[in-house]
Amino acid sequence: MIKYRNIRIGKKIRLHFSGSWMIVYLFMIALVTFTSLPLIYMVSTAFKPIEELFVFPPRFFVRRPTLENFSDLMIAVGSSAVPFTRYIFNSFVTAAATVLLTLIVSSLGAYGLAKHKPAGSGIIFVIILGALMFSTHVTQIPSYMVVSSLGMINTYGALIIPKVAVAYNFFLMKQFAEQIPNEYLESARIDGANEITIFVKLVIPFLKPAWATLTVLSFISNWNDYFTPLIFTSSQAMKTLPLALQTIAGGPATSSIGRAGAVAAATFLMTMPTIIIFTSMQAHVMETMVHSGIKA
């Protein structure tokens, strides 16, 4: 009789647990579907011909896909002196270089501060935490003065160097560096490994989840950055894609309506690289979120 009740209770608990999670899954699927609607509509609009853009009632999905919007975008933004591909090249170069340098600088600084603990490391970390309170827009004036004094206006360096050392990136990397076991590093030193070998072969594998997260955050931030190129560049050839696309969306109302297809194509081009980057790094980003709740 006792066994029968245990089996019955176990079945009831299992059925109740499955039913509860089924409701959660259905809710999550509905939520994901709802939040994906703007993205799906944006992709559909980018391939709509002009007659489908202003049809009433509006159509959610495109019926006759076309690439005319992308050709109109290149004509509207490009010129004989500066082709449209130049803006895309500038955005990729600045975003990729900034991500690479950010990973290197943040990793080296965080590892040195967390494991070597130089004199004044506590004060340095407090200063970094204090820097988190300031928006990047607050520091644009001193950054411009430094960049201008170095003669770097209208150069790639002006778009890359000021965004390499970011307080949040350093903070996140330091949290991961502190979780590296000291015994692991000491064993490598006893075996004769130098600091470069330890950093490359031991530290970097520990920091891979943080690297993935910083890659996503830094790339999205720099790829969509409009304010920094606006301040540090005046040459048409040095404009990035967001700054160049502003000439379409920021025009007169009549021309903006006529360029609705080009604006949709521009939005598509701006969004897809960030989606690709996040999708490729998703597993490592989720691993970072799991590690963030684990104390060393």
CATH of residue 140: 1.10.3720.10
The predicted structure's pLDDT at residue 95: 93
Least confident segment among 53-62, 64-73, 163-172, 286-295: 286-295
Q: Residue 121: inside a domain, yes or no?
A: yes
**C-alpha–C-alpha distance, residues 29 and 197, integer Å:** 46
3-state class (DSSP) for residue 239: coil
Residue 296 in domain? no
Residue 1: pLDDT above 80?
no
**130 lies in the same domain as 23:** no
If we measure between CA atoms, which residue out of 245, 237, 238, 251 comes closest to residue 270? 245
The mean pLDDT of 25-33, rounded to a whole number, is 89
**Number of other CB atoms surrounding residue 240 within 10 Å:** 27
- Domains of the chain: total: 2
Task: Say if 61 falls within a structural domain.
Answer: no
Whole-structure pTM value: 0.76
Which of 52, 233, 246, 47 is closest to 157 using CA atoms?
A: 233
The angle formed by the CA atoms of residues 108, 200 and 273, to the nearest 5 degrees, is 75
Can you tell me the distance from the alpha carbon of 93 to that of 240, in angstroms, rounded to the nearest whole number?
10
pLDDT averaged over every residue in the chain:
81
Using the predicted structure, report yes or no on whether residue 52 has a pLDDT greater than 60.
Answer: yes
State yes or no: pLDDT of 97 exceeds 90.
yes
Q: Mean pLDDT: which of 56-60, 155-159, 202-206, 267-271 is highest?
A: 155-159
8 Å CB contact between 214 and 106:
yes
**pLDDT over 60 at 11, yes or no:** no
Phi-psi region of 192 (alpha: psi -120 to 50; beta: other; left: phi over 0): left
My answer on whether 73 and 40 are in the same domain is no
Residue 96: its pLDDT value, please? 94
Q: Is the dihedral of CA 231, 235, 241, 243 positive or negative?
A: positive
Instruction: Kindly indicate the confidence band of residue 273, based on its pLDDT and cuts at 50, 70 and 90.
Output: confident
The answer to whether residues 94 and 6 belong to one domain is no
Residue 57 three-state SS: coil
| Domain-embedded: residue 58 | no
User: Cα separation of 106 and 101, whole Å?
Assistant: 8
Indicate whether 60 belongs to any domain.
Answer: no
What sign does the CA torsion over 283, 289, 291, 294 have?
Answer: negative
- Print the domain residue range for 42: 2-46
Q: Where are the alpha helices (DSSP H) in the chain?
A: 2-46, 50-53, 68-77, 84-111, 121-131, 140-149, 156-160, 167-177, 182-190, 195-198, 204-223, 227-232, 241-249, 253-258, 260-291
pLDDT at 183 over 60: yes
Tens digits of residue pLDDT in 140-174: 888 899 999 999 999 999 999 988 988 888 888 88
- A 10 A CB-CB count for 45 gives 23
Residue-level pLDDT at 209: 83
260-291 helix and 241-249 helix, angle to the nearest 10 degrees? 140
Tell which wins on pLDDT, 119 or 95: 95
Q: What is the pLDDT of residue 99?
A: 93
> Above 80 in pLDDT, residue 55?
no
For 2-75, strand residue ranges (E) read none
Domain assignment present for 130? yes
Read off the pLDDT of each residue in 209-227 and give the average, rounded to a whole number. 88
Residues 180 and 128 in one domain: yes
**Cis preceding linkage at 83, omega within 30:** no
293 has a pLDDT exceeding 60: no
User: Which stretches does DSSP call E strand in the chain?
Assistant: none
Claim to verify: residue 25 and residue 156 sit in the same structural domain: no
Residue 34: Cβ within 10 Å count: 9
Query: What percentage of the chain carries pLDDT values higher than 70?
Result: 83
Percent of the chain residues topping a pLDDT of 90: 14
15 and 140 inside one domain: no
